[in-house]
Amino acid sequence: MLQKKVHILTYGCQMNVSDSEKIGSVLRGVGYEPSATIDDADMVILNTCSVRSKAEEKIYGILFTMKGRLKRKPNLLIGVGGCVAQQEGERLLQKVPHLNFVFGTHTLHLLPQMVRDAEAGRRVTETGFIDDDHRLDLFPQSGEVAGVTRLVTIMQGCDNFCSYCIVPYVRGREVSRRPGDILEEIRRAADSGCREVTLLGQNVNSYGLQDGAAADFASLLRGVANIDGIQRIRFMTSHPKDISTPLIDCFADLEKLCSHIHLPVQSGSDRILAMMNRGYNRADYLLMVKKLRSVRPDILFTSDIIVGFPGETEEDFQQSLSLLQEVRYSDSYSFVYSPRPETKAALLPDKTGNEEKVERFNRLLALQKKLTIEVQSPMVGKRLEVLVEGAGKKEGQMYGRTSGNRVVNFSAEAGLAGTLQQPLIVRNFQNSLLGELR
């Protein structure tokens, strides 16, 4: 019998990348192997993100372009999951007659039955929310995917309700996985060759706090560090207000914990931070940066920044620019504010025109580009340790990442994946470094 194939299109954040791995694992269980190209697929899944505006329109646009594909392959099944599916639910099926099924952020475990229904010609939607402290027990994990690096979900949802953010509405309230389950998953991954884990959650620093789990985040990190075979540990995303002293201590004494933290600041202006309901001010944030640097001097910071939040003045924006310069991020991911349904910020008056917001965004981007080059510049001429992950950009190259999460491409024979190497850094590019193994 010919093997059926599924192609998964992933949009948005690392959480979605991790969810797509889980979706792939569940679908393997019902006879679908991953397909490298959409042309070979018997089923296409869109795993969507709704953090930015117009996400829904984009997904509808993509779904309508699939009509042509259906003419060539009438039995092709199409499913939509993720945050747009959670938000739109049944509406998606109503608006897109050739869509077969819709699953939300809490219903990955129902996929096998949904696929069977779709194969039998029934159109289904499953976007119910599960309000249970143990709902993550229901969620499938990524299976025994062998790889050098692995994303491990440790918690899901968010209780912070930042005024601009849709996540608490589409992912639900915070729930943490049991520490024993997480450690067991990582032990198995290490046994099958994994060398680096990234612990994932919307707000990993509050891991275990909401339900009195047996471990807080710092203890979990220490547990992971004790696993043989795991050489590097990363995590994301961190909320600055929840960086605890025990977590800072981990940076002081856990060698396996990488010298990088993604610490989204969102704005450099206290007035805007208060309107965003972020729970910290500029001084608190800078103090956190200082404490982390005092225990780990080579730590690199990355951030998310929103430009043009309702009511942001040029003066507020200047505060964001100056914060960028003060922290000297190795990278930041900025976007122009867009109102999201159900959020408080969507109701705020906003007098700044889009043109002005885009102009601010471009200024911020230019500053970050300059900072990235400046932060990376002292690395040239040094040997940096990288964990080799796979084939590099060009023929004959491998790539890996430094502890500070900078990508290094270097000429090497294949077969080094999973090993630690010390290339000499010879060139500094915007998005990567070039190294030589000599």
Q: How many residues bind ligand SF4 (CB under 6 A)?
A: 10
Residue 206 corresponds to which tokens in the numbers above?
Answer: 């509050």
CB 155, CB 207: distance < 8 Å: yes
Residue 167 within binding range of ligand SF4, rule CB under 6 A: yes
Q: Which of 24, 81, 168, 423 binds ligand SF4 (CB under 6 A)?
A: 168
The residue range among 4-12, 31-39, 87-95, 163-171 that interacts with ligand SF4, by the rule CB under 6 A, is 163-171
Report CA-CA distances (Å) from 125 to 7, 80, 173, 241.
Answer: 20, 9, 22, 37
Residue 158 within binding range of ligand SF4, rule CB under 6 A: yes
Is the CB of 77 or the CB of 165 nearer to ligand SF4?
165
Label residues 128-154 b or e (16+ Cβ within 10 Å = b): ebbeeeebbeebbbbeebebbbbbbbb
Please report how close the Cβ of residue 13 comes to ligand SF4 at its closest, in angstroms.
Answer: 9
The residue range among 132-140, 148-156, 161-169, 216-224 that interacts with ligand SF4, by the rule CB under 6 A, is 161-169
Residue 401 within binding range of ligand SF4, rule CB under 6 A: no
- Max distance between CA atoms of the chain, in angstroms, equals 66
Residue 210 within binding range of ligand SF4, rule CB under 6 A: no
Residue 85 within binding range of ligand SF4, rule CB under 6 A: no
| End-to-end Cα separation, the chain, in angstroms | 50
Residue 386 within binding range of ligand SF4, rule CB under 6 A: no
Is the CB of 345 or the CB of 384 nearer to ligand SF4?
345
Please report how close the Cβ of residue 239 comes to ligand SF4 at its closest, in angstroms.
Answer: 5
**Cis amide leading into 237 (omega within 30):** yes
Sign of CA dihedral 247, 251, 255, 258: positive
Distance CA 356, CA 337 (A): 12
The residue range among 79-87, 128-136, 155-163, 186-194 that interacts with ligand SF4, by the rule CB under 6 A, is 155-163
Q: Which of 14, 53, 160, 259 binds ligand SF4 (CB under 6 A)?
A: 160
Distance CA 431, CA 49 (A): 24
Is the CB of 273 or the CB of 375 nearer to ligand SF4?
273
Q: Which of 239, 262, 360, 406 binds ligand SF4 (CB under 6 A)?
A: 239
Binding track over 170-209 against ligand SF4, x by CB under 6 A:
--------------------------------xx------
Cβ-Cβ contacts under 8 Å for 434 (sequence gap 6 or more): 408, 409, 410, 425, 426, 427, 428
The residue range among 154-162, 244-252, 284-292, 383-391 that interacts with ligand SF4, by the rule CB under 6 A, is 154-162
The residue range among 63-71, 164-172, 190-198, 373-381 that interacts with ligand SF4, by the rule CB under 6 A, is 164-172
Distance CA 185, CA 120 (A): 34
Distance CA 14, CA 195 (A): 18
CB-count burial class (<10 Å; 0-12, 13-18, 19+) for 382: exposed
The residue range among 118-126, 157-165, 212-220, 314-322 that interacts with ligand SF4, by the rule CB under 6 A, is 157-165
Label residues 76-92 b or e (16+ Cβ within 10 Å = b): bbbbbbbbbbbbbbeeb
Q: Which of 162, 197, 250, 265 binds ligand SF4 (CB under 6 A)?
A: 162
Residue 165 within binding range of ligand SF4, rule CB under 6 A: yes
Question: Phi and psi of 5, rounded to 5°?
Answer: -125, 145
Which stretches of the chain bind ligand SF4, using CB under 6 A?
158, 160-162, 165, 167-168, 202-203, 239
